[in-house]
Amino acid sequence: MRVPTPEPSVLIEWSEAEWRPRANRHEHRVAEWTEPHLRRRSRGERHPVEDFLWDYYSCPPKALRTWQPGWGVVLTGDVSDFARLRGFTAADGRAMVDAALPDGRGDRVRWIRDLLQATRDRPARLGCFGLHEWAMVYRSPSDQVRHAQVPLRLGPDGTNAVVEAHRITCSHYDAYRFFTPEATGLNTLRPGLETRLLNEQPGCLHAGMDVYKWAHKLAPFTSAELVADCFALAREIRVLDMRASPYDLTAWGYSPVAIETPSGKAEYLDAQQDFSIRANTLRDRIIAVCDAVLSA
């Protein structure tokens, strides 16, 4: 596991000899994710697993590639490129994130912080077994399945049977809102946009992926390294999310986590527990950035 880099809470200064290697390492790291995506996009190819983080979270590859130090760091040397970055101030060979929050930005930072803390502080509710993906295709016409280019591993009838044999406990609004009409009433919760602070919890795979969304939305307060750490975890979670889904992804190189079986359930639970712990570590880092920004 990548060791987290603590986010600065006080003003520190990096010379170009210090920050330039960081920028180069970051660019090399994220190229492993951005370049295959850009190649597929240039060929008009879709990928049922990898495309989700780019499409759903609306962070373009260029934004993920762009290095910046985050809140509380002053860069010196040739900082001309930073003068063009949103939220930066640069002059006289020095650049840093602008300390002046635009109208309403402080409220946004505070809301994200409160959501992350509320999620982190709840006990992880495990055992949902990724049934949100199954509920998104439950009794759905074949031409309306979300990933129509990917076959269902158990076929339509087998998929419906798995949903009907389980208790669905989805706590995530952005997953629940994509349930088919026939599946919404099967969920034990009714998560809504206005109740996110009350419902989100660290055992949820989608809440774990969302840590990347909040890190990205808080940039440039969050450092490029922190955003990349969140993207890396979200990418791992997305793989489990789809391996445990009703889709047959063997043609894309993914073996199924057959959550309809005892062994599949055990595999899912182990990974879900691990992801909940790792996502909370990232939540702590983002909350620290929010606190530093709000107290400035």
Segment 188-197, tens digit of pLDDT: 999 998 899 9
Please check whether residue 217 is in contact with residue 112, taking contact to mean a CB–CB distance below 8 angstroms: yes
Parallel, antiparallel or unpaired: strands 94-97 and 73-76 = antiparallel
pLDDT in tens, 117-166: 999 999 999 999 999 999 999 998 765 667 778 999 999 999 999 999 99
> Does residue 7 have a pLDDT over 60?
no
Q: Is residue 5 part of a domain?
A: no
Tell me whether residue 83 is in a domain.
yes
Residue 38 lies in a domain: yes
pLDDT, position 142: 63
Whole-number Å distance between alpha carbons of 129 and 280? 20
- Position 144 scores a pLDDT of 62
Q: Is residue 42 part of a domain?
A: yes
* 6 occurs within a structural domain: no
Indicate whether 260 belongs to any domain.
yes
The total of structural domains in the chain comes to 1
Positive/negative CA dihedral, 52, 55, 58, 63 = positive
- Residue 2, domain member (yes or no): no
Q: Is residue 7 assigned to a domain?
A: no
What pLDDT, in 10s, does the model give residues 193-226? 889 999 999 999 999 999 999 999 999 999 999 9
Rg of the chain on CA atoms, in Å: 21
Q: What is the model's pLDDT at position 3?
A: 38
Domain span at 276:
12-295
Across the chain, what does the average pLDDT equal? 93
Residue 52 Cα distances to 16, 23, 33, 144, 209, angstroms: 36, 26, 13, 18, 10
